[in-house]
Structure 1
Amino acid sequence: MNFRSLRSQIESGAGQGHLDNYVPMWQLTRGNCTYFGVQATGPMPGYRRASCFRQRQDRIAALIALWIGGMDARENFPLWPFPHPHPLSDWPLGKPTERMCQGLMDLASDEHERKLLRRRAHEGYVPEATLNITYGERDCPQSCLLACVRATSKLAAAIPDSDGDIARAQTYAMANDMRFFRFDRRHFNRTLVSNLEVWSFSVNTIRRDVELDLVKRVEDLLLRRLEVDTPCNAVNLASSQLAIPALTAWTVLRYMQWQQTVDVDPRRYISHLEHFVPGGRAFRASLRSLILGVTP
């Protein structure tokens, strides 16, 4: 079996690393596509590297995974055909998982499946999971494989055996003691996605442009004012009292919404001229339980 094409990708770091050092198995080498396209690239909240997604649904899944508490969301994660170290064997922030995982060749149900995997390996291609989510305690994390159904038949045709890859990801997860979740964009309304996208932009802005001490002071003032006033008035007061630009105060408020420091339901249209409608914390906990199996 000739793994020359696949070996060259492995040697280049494809499918390896964590956080900003992760190298996706499949990458976009150009900017975002047209309005009518489906692929997407760009930094996710908390990352400096550009994430690459085959379809917008994959990006939405990654956004939700990070919002509910995922520490890392590695897109286009390879399901290697041969035995290999656990995906968390080189976890940099805590105790690595020191055991081997079974490859897809060992898990193949019949000879036809093995021939298909060999042919794809000859071409330098392996089945992929949409996301490998690292979650749980930082010192002792766990992995969850998340697979997205293809949004269009055209996209499914462009990705070899995409439906089969979902079944392979589930088989791989079960055999290697990982959680598996099948993500369907239709279960999440447009308002939820829109709110999360707006909130998520604040994460990298805060890290890049705002000092942590200032963030803390703005948060404390906003939390006090939001108990008795509308978000718009609270932001204007914080901007005036702390002598900071209003844009900075708005950025901190959106960061608080992303972190759910202030309880806001992202499934509803948010008006900053009215008091926030709570429910975001309970909804996030229910999603965390559904996707990651983590209960409060």
Structure 2
Amino acid sequence: MSVLSPPRTAGRAGEQVVPARHPWRWAGTALVLVLLAQFGHGLATNPGWDWPTFAGYLFEKSVMQALGVTLLLTVAGAALGFLGGIPLAAMRLSGNPVLSAVSWTYIWVFRSVPLIVQLLFWANLGYLYQTLQIGIPFGPGWSFSTTGLISSFGAALLGLALHEAAFAAEIIRSGLLSVDQGQHEAAAALGLPRRRQFVRIVLPQAMRAILPNAANLLVNLLKSTSIVYVLAIGELFYQVHVIYGRNGRVVPLLMVATVWYMVLTALLSVLQYYVERHFARGAVR
């Protein structure tokens, strides 16, 4: 008959467990703190930053008006972009080869061409087509001149929206594909209508994959609005450029734009957090 031995303890009586020491971790932390202190000292003492000028223009009237134009371009461009991305994603997922090919071609073209080229193209559409005609093929129609048809703001909004639609379509498509096929089959087995299957079963799960990428796309759109300065639209970067072109205070005016972009990005990040938390209810972490 065998005798069971008592279980072994982690150490003998009286011994003390000593945690592992990481001296290089503290050395690295000290180095980072020193570098941060030097950077902060430079911000406070270097006269080149010109903080009085920065404070004077941070809430200046023309800057605030330009900030409103930036927000308008961002919100409108995102809304139109995602409204266009939804049918493009549906066409890409369609079993119809023609619709799928059209969607793929659109996405390929608008993701390939730089945004600044698209903006300049739409702004100069009148040089390519002097007149446009709408009517019945081989029948009566109406023609009108394209001169002044698209304003600078309209060209900027159109370019941003079409550009965003291509990226939004891929984000939406990837989110829908992330939902397991078994979810579709289970919803169909319950006898739910297709619309309710999509709204109640598929979409809430797809949103968890769509939201992070959509938020990144929105932040990128916010920064991309600075490119429309080539069309002489009074958004934030253009207005800052005009001001430092007059007074020569380049660095403090660039810091004004930088701070406002950072503030808007932080607000979008907070909004992203709460929206993601809403759609993450019931998800296993």
TM-score normalised to the size of structure 2? 0.23
Larger radius of gyration: 2
